[in-house]
Amino acid sequence: MAIITFAAIYIGSYEVSLKIFELSGKKKIREIDHIRTRLELGRDTFHSGSIGYDLVDQLCDTLMDFTRIMQGYKVKEYRAFAGNVVGEASNRFFMIDQIRTRTGLAVQTLSNSERRFLTYKGVAAKDGFDRMISESAAFIDVGGGSLQITLFINGSVVTTQHLAIGTMRLMEMLSDIEHNVRNLEKQLEELVDKELAVFRAQYMRAGEEVKNVILMGAYITEIMGKLKKSGEMANVVEAEKFVGFLQKLDNKTVEEISEALNLSNEKDMLVLPSVILYVKLTQAMHAHTIWFPDVDTSDGIVYDYAHTHKIVRPAHDFDEDILSAAKNMSMRYMSYSQHIDALTEMSSLLFDAIKKEHGMGKRERLLLKVAAILHDCGKYISLANSAICACQVIRATEIIGLTQIEREIVASVVLYHSTPLDPYEDLADRMDLQSYIVVSKLAAILKVANAMDRSHRQKFKNVKAVIKNKQLVITIESMDDITLEKGRLAAKAGDFERIFGLKPVIREKRVYL
């Protein structure tokens, strides 16, 4: 293939960036330019809930400069995204329209989970990532509005947690405190330490340590540069040395810290909460090693584009991360069992058997498996209202790799596999029509699959499913009485037959000892 010049634009809380890449036929991504403009949009969003016209005007001017740079590089493809700083602003629609009108750029807003996953993709594409998570690791992405921690044990995702303690949000909360680290630290202890203590108590055993911390955030490059001068390997430092270096900045003013890190802006107030956050995060994880992958959201944007267009091969199994997170979540709510494994297998089998009828793809199959894994987690809260509780738990839980709308689809499938499906008009504020159709199809499949193991005793073996004469014939082998399962299937098959035009029936092969 010919070389593609690609541009990634990201509008963040305190910075707007443009990266230019070359994508080659040798399946390589090469960065050729990086332009960053300081623009503290988050100060308005986190303080007043909207972004003032002057800042919108500056943003449009900056993006107009970016378009001229892109033209100079003869960029063929681009993607432009904005994070929560725009997504949370009350005037976001006006902003997006102004940008399109004045610059011609189509900017999409990203939810927290979408933005974090793009960044995660960029990090996972780096050499050494799988080695870092192979034992225990925490991937910590510190932004202006929040930070997110994804915990890995033995290479598998345990949980992803979103904490609203980003550097700019903290600075806004503590704007009246004298500007040096020592005065801020006491206040930050109350805001940060409690959150991290809860995280450790909930997701890490007493005394457990995270061997590696993969850390992303502002000023990391400058800190890394200072530590490299001390003889450390590129991008990797001992946690003790990392913390020791930052603690030397204690009781210094903004100007003194800026000078120590060679920052261009000598009055950059965000350096204060950043320094303190990095120290406390490292200490809370009891980390041995800190790795700075030296990537940002723009790297994730280009990787996602290249992967989607089959320019590069997947660097990591992201689907397995999703399933691992779902299984750990199920275990946390004491719902993981042999029934969950059986239901996941059965629902996948039914999905595959009627591919032509439902017209869905691999992604929807993955969402069905996640719904099967999580369908019982609400019983931890209420046996009588388990489906409603499970739905609420899923909506409130970050699952790295799933977008916000995909999480809503999974939550709705779990709800409606055991309750009547509401009309689309009642759900239009949560999802578009296509997502609603996906929910209705997946819920019908999960409902039939669950009826097949209603007793939770896994009575079936060698299950096969084929379509014959407008029927989905499910052939099973069993040594047990399956009267209950046959009755529940007949009672639960209505939605399945209405949606797919197929009546599910059981054909039994008796097995005798």
Residue 259, pLDDT score = 87
Residue 18: which of 58, 50, 84, 64 has the closest Cα?
64
Q: Terminus-to-terminus CA distance in the chain, angstroms? A: 61
For 128, the 3-state DSSP assignment is: coil
Report whether 223 contacts 290 (CB < 8 A): no
- Burial grade of 334 (CB within 10 A; 0-12, 13-18, 19 or more): exposed
Which residues are within 8 A (CB) of 468 and not within 5 positions of it... i.e. 6 or more apart? none
Q: What angle do CA 451, 456, 461 make, to 5 degrees?
A: 80
For 233, the 3-state DSSP assignment is: coil
Tokens matching residue 245? 């270096």
Residue with tokens 């107030």: 269
For 91, the 3-state DSSP assignment is: coil
Question: Going residue by residue through the chain (513 aa), what tens digit of pLDDT does each one get?
Answer: 578 999 999 999 889 999 999 998 666 899 999 999 999 898 888 778 899 999 999 999 999 999 999 999 999 999 999 998 898 899 999 999 999 999 999 999 998 888 889 999 999 988 889 999 998 899 999 988 889 999 999 889 999 998 888 888 877 776 655 555 556 667 776 777 888 888 888 888 767 788 999 999 888 888 888 886 544 446 889 999 999 999 888 778 888 888 888 887 767 778 888 888 899 899 989 899 999 988 999 999 999 999 888 888 887 899 999 999 999 999 999 998 888 998 999 999 999 999 999 999 999 999 999 999 999 999 999 998 999 999 999 999 989 899 989 999 999 999 999 999 999 999 999 999 999 999 999 999 999 998 887 655 666 677 888 999 899 988 887 666 667 777 778 777 888 999 999 999 888 776 554
Tokens matching residue 302? 């280009």
Backbone angles phi, psi at 457, to 5 degrees: -115, 5
